[in-house]
Amino acid sequence: MGGSGVSDVAEAISEYRAAWKEAGHPGEGDVILRVGVYVAEDMERAVTEPRESTMSFYDRIRQGLIQTATSFGGERRVRRAEQMANMTYEDALEDRLIYGTPDFVAQRLEEWRDLLGLSGVIMEPNVGGTISPELLDTSARLFGQEVAPRFR
């Protein structure tokens, strides 16, 4: 979801679906969400292990928005950069990321799938790109063994 929260994504999906129908396409149109997902055996590890990497990602997004503020959509970019400058890690965990235990991750994926009417999800396992391979292996294993089977 990058720099957007779930409410922003819901609004964009609503606009997409309205345009889809207006164009005369059948159905609702597929929506696949790309979201940061990190799974650990306990909530404390799920939150602390990816923190530094994740916040470096959001800082890069904010810097990019500031640098491109004079281009198309500049005012909107400045507003988003300002929002992100004040965003805490806890804010990101609330509505931009799905980090937690297998049970928490499965529940949150289900909630967002239903809320947004998703056709699918693309898991971003290494938000920021600096989470260690060992931690990523554990997260992927837990996701594959304990979360994914709930959605088959």
- Residue positions counted in the chain: 152
Res 81 pLDDT > 70: yes
Residue 12, amino acid: A
Range name among 3-12, 15-24, 28-37, 119-128 with the lowest pLDDT average: 3-12
pLDDT of residue 9: 93
Question: If you average pLDDT over each of 52-61, 83-92, 131-140, which comes out highest?
Answer: 131-140
**Rg (Cα) of the chain, in Å, rounded?**
17
Residue 70 sits at φ, ψ, to 5 deg, of -85, -5
pLDDT tens readout for residues 17-32: 999 999 999 999 999 9
Q: Which helix (H) or strand (E) holds 123?
A: strand 120-124
Confidence class for position 3, pLDDT limits 50, 70, 90: low
pLDDT of residue 68: 77
Give the global pTM: 0.89
pLDDT tens readout for residues 52-75: 999 999 889 888 877 777 776 667
Res 94 pLDDT > 80: yes
147: closest CA among 117, 119, 125?
Answer: 125
